[in-house]
Chains A and B, each alone.
Chain A
């Protein structure tokens, strides 16, 4: 089937190249920008904004046929980096080159409107991501099967549990067979059975010469499936290399003892 999401790639070809990437943005101190706050700020002559440096000179290459794990504490810039790679946030410095179609796990926007059913959300998310109605229809059965939602696929998504949300999102992301798949922290809410199923799917995609980026706090999974791991801290790339080595360093940094609890948690 001809599809925008179905190009062949040789393992080792470059999929993503991130060069000297920096991202800064100004944000208002108030949570919501309002006219009143602006007028007040004008009156006092103070600037009610601060500059957030979310990413700082990040260099990364991801070849096809590999899985890059990204680890880091909360607020390290992991999700921001994924958003830049998916073209959602424009970078402030540097350059990102993407050699294929990217599908982030949440990129298909699944569940963006809780009043709509799972089916409608999948369709709308797919259309927003640039797929055609035909492509979505062709994949829909597979998506519903993989997510194991049953009849719930027709119910409004506000009735879903967080596990159901995550399952549907993951199913969409992997079933449309993107060249480049970004999975951001979504395996963590599924149950044990679904976790295993998704891990198998990730391994399958890896051997299928796709490129994957896996963002997770589950260090056991990272060691298990990744070829390379990048450790981000406060927007900067601290270390990058062989999974065990980087994860060991990261664990040491977290002062977390290598206990069974950490390894089991995905």
Chain B
């Protein structure tokens, strides 16, 4: 009770370069974990606030997306290759998880300007919320895909469960990218304008519109530079072909994901005290 006569509760002093005290930061972040879920929920809610379908859009969006490609490949293209269609749909959904999170993450800190200027809180909550929003939007698409693959009659095997660790690795990568790009965007606002073109290019460079096996060996050399390459390959193998993914792909994907998470978090934490005068 006699706190005021003893030590001060908070002391603010000039900070040294580098990371803030991590244990304290983590405690402060953990205490606010309900903010992250509440913020994501409200954001999703407000996005469809005025629409007729409301939250049903979370299902309609992936349905329409796969419908467009169904039209393109099966009806116009005249291919009745259901594996190809399933591969494209599954990989597209996973890709959109990463690229939507990237887009949301890039805006997260700048959008939270008013909150940053008026409240002391661990700023990393904002890109984490953006990643959670991406995840929440991704989960219904998995459900939609499972329905699609049942309808077109793809085999169901236990190996499909490998999709769970693959999705987990993807989530780590999306989180890392969200944290990294939210911070970069504070200093270079152009990033959010470049992003749609970057995402589109990344989409074409990834094995989504084609399968890994179809690539020429000369081009496959470059796959090592695409973080999504091993992930999409594993995802397609487990979700579409119901086979176990290559261990090497999983390890590579995880290494990329953790790399982004560590670099992003380090960059963010060492910069975030500067945000209030930057946003």
What residues make up the interface of A, taking CB atoms closer than 8 Å to B?
A: 7-10, 13-15, 17, 25, 27, 32-36, 38, 64, 83-102, 104, 106-109, 111-113, 115-116, 120, 123-125, 127-130, 132-133, 156
Q: Does B136 contact A (CB under 8 A)?
A: no
Q: Which of B45, B121, B273, B277 contacts A27 (CB 8 A)?
A: B277
In this complex, which of A36, A64, A84, A97 has the most chain B Cβ atoms within 10 angstroms of its Cβ?
A97
**Known contacts A83-B117, A91-B12; A64/B278 CB under 8 A:** no
Residue of B nearest to A101 (CB): B9
The answer on a CB contact under 8 Å between A128 and B12 is no
Q: Within 8 Å CB of B4, what residues of A?
A: 7, 9-10, 13-15, 64, 99-100
Q: Within 8 Å CB of B273, what residues of A?
A: 90
In this complex, which of B1, B31, B42 has the most chain A Cβ atoms within 10 angstroms of its Cβ?
B42
Q: Which of B9, B34, B114, B187 contacts A132 (CB 8 A)?
A: B34
Q: Does B225 contact A (CB under 8 A)?
A: no
The answer on a CB contact under 8 Å between A90 and B14 is yes
Beyond the given A33-B278, A85-B12, A128-B125, could you list 9 further A-B residue pairs with CB under 8 A, ordered by the A residue number? A83-B118, A83-B276, A87-B120, A95-B13, A101-B9, A109-B119, A116-B46, A124-B38, A124-B42
The answer on a CB contact under 8 Å between A95 and B12 is yes
Task: Provide the bound-state CA to CA distance between A12 and B189, in Å.
Answer: 48
In this complex, which of A108, A115, A128 has the most chain B Cβ atoms within 10 angstroms of its Cβ?
A128
Task: Provide the bound-state CA to CA distance between A165 and B49, in Å.
Answer: 21
The answer on a CB contact under 8 Å between B190 and A36 is yes
Q: Smallest CB–CB gap between A136 and chain B, Å? A: 10
Q: Within 8 Å CB of B1, what residues of A?
A: 7-8
Q: Which of B120, B187, B277 contacts A25 (CB 8 A)?
A: B277
Interface residues of B, CB < 8 Å — how many?
Answer: 41
Interface 1/0 per residue, B110-126 and A, CB below 8 Å: 00101111111100010
The answer on a CB contact under 8 Å between B35 and A127 is yes
Q: Which of A88, A123, A132 contacts B119 (CB 8 A)?
A: A88
Q: Which of B5, B42, B120 contacts A88 (CB 8 A)?
A: B120
Contact residues, B86-123 vs A (CB, 8 A): 112, 114-121
Residue of A nearest to B12 (CB): A96
Q: Within 8 Å CB of A9, what residues of B?
A: 3-4
Q: Smallest CB–CB gap between A6 and chain B, Å? A: 11
Residue of A nearest to B36 (CB): A127
**Known contacts A8-B1, A112-B114; A86/B120 CB under 8 A:** yes
The answer on a CB contact under 8 Å between B9 and A96 is no
Q: Within 8 Å CB of B114, what residues of A?
A: 109, 111-113
**Known contacts A90-B273, A125-B119, A130-B31; A32/B189 CB under 8 A:** yes
Q: Within 8 Å CB of B35, what residues of A?
A: 124, 127-128
Q: Does B222 contact A (CB under 8 A)?
A: no
Q: Smallest CB–CB gap between A75 and chain B, Å? A: 15
Q: Does B77 contact A (CB under 8 A)?
A: no
The answer on a CB contact under 8 Å between A156 and B46 is yes
The answer on a CB contact under 8 Å between B118 and A99 is no
The answer on a CB contact under 8 Å between B190 and A100 is no
Q: Within 8 Å CB of A115, what residues of B?
A: 46, 49
Contact residues, B6-24 vs A (CB, 8 A): 8-15
Residue of A nearest to B118 (CB): A106
Q: Does B53 contact A (CB under 8 A)?
A: no
Task: Provide the bound-state CA to CA distance between A160 and B242, in Å.
Answer: 54
Residue of B nearest to A12 (CB): B4
The answer on a CB contact under 8 Å between A109 and B188 is no
Q: Within 8 Å CB of A113, what residues of B?
A: 42, 46, 114-115
Task: Provide the bound-state CA to CA distance between A67 and B176, in Å.
Answer: 45
**Known contacts A96-B12, A127-B34; A88/B3 CB under 8 A:** no
